Amino acid sequence: GFYMFGNCGSLQSLDFRKSTFRNVTNFERVFEGCNILSELWLPLTFDKLTSINLSIQSWGSTPKGLASLRWTFGEGADDRTAKGLQPCTVRLSANVYDRLTDTERAAAAKKGWTITK
């Protein structure tokens, strides 16, 4: 997973809704340099990670992108708490963090996804 999409400067949309990341042990810098990636449907199924850096400034900057951001932290987020897993911290760019409402961030936190900026 290291640098998988690194510096894909033209990448605007990625849809992983049919994927699972339960066995992923390294998700560092996967989207580094993806400066116009606005639409990312990413199921939060990272059972083996306790922190993920998803600092993608453009995520959620379009209507479809915002839908993908809300889906990722809503319907797309596994309930880690119910599975007995430790919480996972997800770091977002400050502007992306602000695109989620307090209610959306609180709902993700209840499932064990702590969103920071």
pLDDT digit string (tens) for 31-43? 888 889 999 999 9
Contacts of 109 (CB under 8 A, 6+ apart): 87, 115
pLDDT digit string (tens) for 37-92? 999 999 999 999 999 999 999 999 999 999 999 999 999 999 999 999 999 999 99
> How much is the pTM?
0.92
In the chain, the percentage of residues whose pLDDT exceeds 90 is 84
The structure tokens listed for 3 are 């640098």
pLDDT digit string (tens) for 4-40? 576 666 789 999 999 999 999 999 888 888 889 999 9
